[in-house]
Chains A and B, each alone.
Chain A
Amino acid sequence: MDGRRVRPVGAWRYLLSLLLSLLPVSAGAQALAGNEPLTVSGFGTLGVIHNSSSEAAFVRDLGQPKGAGEGWSARVDTLLGGQVDLKLNDRFDVTLQGISRYHHEGDFSPELTWAFLRYTPSPGWQLRAGRLGWDSYLFSESRYVGYAYPWVRPPVDHYGILQLDYIEGVDVTYRRPLGSGLAWAKLFAGRSTSHLVLSEALSAEMDISNLYGGHLNYALGPWQFRASYARADSDADFSVDREAFARNPRTLVLNTLIGRAFDYGAIELYSLGMTYEQGRWQVQAMQNRSTTDSEGVIDSGFVSLGYRTGQATPYVMFSRVRTSFPEIPAGESFRQRTWSLGMRYDVATNLALKTQLDRVHVIRPGLLWRETDADWEGDRITLVSLGLDFIF
């Protein structure tokens, strides 16, 4: 059997047995009840994806070492998360969350995503300390909670390249009514570690320090707007898989170039986002620009439009990403855009079925595709995905 088509059968069995053992109790969506001091809840996705291309394997983000090659794969989207919330008193509470999904270690080993103490001294103020979610982009913190959004996965062009799984630090949020809407501001500071797999032969452990930033939000009726900024120092520790190099020596040049693009000392991120939810309509739009101190630029954005009719919510989405690293030859910059068409179907109030068709136009290949030849010039790739999202 071709190596890239091996499916993680062990993980499937594990997820399925967990799912089956949990679903009967979840009928009342216990997760979403604030009654008890201690709540245990969770979320998950059983997802399969079909890739039309024999030349490039699809990954959901740069943390995934292997992708979904030609044919069907359950690797990229399937995941399971669990959360414990403990209310200590009216002002203090603790949250722990772990997620098992296919990630940089090449397996589904669970990771602790949140572990924080929250202090709510008044309705307007909230302080958190510990391991926190990173939410510079709208929906970043909930990007693995499939039940929370209409798509099979958040647009990879936008969420696939620059993400932190968590930050270790503190954040403070202040909310107040402003005009006839509600305004809130959040500031955060901390550090993080990020694992990027830049190609089969090259991965990087990024030590992210002096990380700080914040965002301003305004919600008015069906509208919500966010403007955010973040900056961090970064120290990349590259590791090279010599066997992978030996198998395909032509990737050496490409890897060196990609490595240089990510060997920056500092990065700044600017992001704008808006959502509109009025009755049956759901619109989301975001635009980011990230710049590195070595003059690298990553631009990405997306627009999504959905309309609920009964239990079904069909949607259409357009996303794109464009990178430019002046230090490496222009031909190595990465560009692609994607049209997605899909539908979410709410089977129950804790279970949604989804299907999505992605047509990806890889204009300049580079990141986000695995098992490509060094001379791959890009292509139009069709992906078909099926997903079952649940909460319990």
Chain B
Amino acid sequence: MTRFRHFIAAALLVTGGLAHADIAVVTNANSGIAQMSRSDVINIFMGRYRKLPNGELALPIDLAPVKARFYQALVDKNLAEINSWWARLVFSGQASPPHQAETTAQAISLVVHNPSALGYVDTHHLTSELHVVLVLHE
């Protein structure tokens, strides 16, 4: 009975943990990048400095269903603020925004087929083809 109770408690912990999943910032498994700092990721996704730790020009990929949570966790900004930021950069001819993926499958496919892609997925959707360089806790 006690064992059973422990099992229930553990199950609750696991599902509780899943309900509040984190966001993994991912690269191609062959990118040769071990991990990245939060400021590297901010520089790339905010269009400031698009250099990957391996020296390549980064190709950042936004994922529509996770985008709002990602920017809230990364820079504490909502989507209106993110669009406002990009309006400034795009219409002053300084930088172009990240590629927009509509589905997780699209984002994963882009990362898997492009060694300089930098994407993000819900930690639920991690696959073995992806390499996690940073985890954002919400």
Q: Is A124 an interface residue (CB 8 A)?
A: yes
CB distance from B27 to the nearest CB of A (A): 15
Cross-chain pairs A/B with CB under 8 angstroms, 10 sampled: A32-B86, A33-B97, A90-B57, A114-B93, A116-B93, A123-B49, A123-B56, A147-B83, A182-B43, A308-B81
Taking a contact as CB atoms under 8 Å apart, the answer to whether A41 and B57 are in contact is no
- Min CB gap A173→B, angstroms: 9
Binding site for B on A (CB under 8 A): 29, 31-35, 39, 41, 43, 81, 83, 85, 87, 90, 93, 95, 97, 114, 116, 118, 120, 122-124, 128, 132-133, 135, 139, 141-142, 145, 147-149, 175-177, 180-182, 184, 219, 278-280, 308, 311, 346, 348-350, 352, 391
Question: Which of B80, B91, B97 makes the CB contact (< 8 A) with A349?
Answer: B80
Are A97 and B97 neighbours in the complex by a CB distance under 8 Å?
no
Q: In the complex, are the beta carbons of A135 and B92 less than 8 A apart?
A: yes
Contacts of A32 in B (CB 8 A): 83, 86-87, 90, 97
Which chain A residue has the least Cβ–Cβ distance from B102? A28
| Contact among A35, A41, A279 for B76, CB-based, below 8 A | A279
For B, the interface residue count at a CB cutoff of 8 angstroms equals 32
In residues 74-101 of chain B, which contact A (Cβ within 8 Å)?
76, 78-81, 83-88, 90-94, 96-100
The reply to whether A97 and B91 form a contact with Cβ atoms under 8 Å apart is: yes
- CB-defined contacts of A87 to chain B, threshold 8 Å: 96
As a 0/1 sequence over residues 61 to 79 of chain B, the CB contacts with chain A under 8 angstroms (1 = contact) are: 0000000000000001011
Which residues of chain B are near A81, meaning CB under 8 Å? 91
Contact B93 A41 (CB under 8 A): no
User: Which residues of B come within 8 Å of A, CB atoms?
Assistant: 39, 43, 48-52, 55-58, 76, 78-81, 83-88, 90-94, 96-100
**Would you call B96 and A349 a contact (CB within 8 A)?**
no
Closest A residue to B50 by CB, please name it: A123
Q: Which of B57, B88, B90, B93 contacts A120 (CB 8 A)?
A: B57
B31 CB, min distance to chain A CBs, angstroms: 15
B100→A34 contact, CB < 8 A = yes
Kindly state the separation between the CA atoms of A241 and B83 in the bound complex, as whole angstroms: 44
Give min CB distance, B32 to chain A, whole Å.
Answer: 16
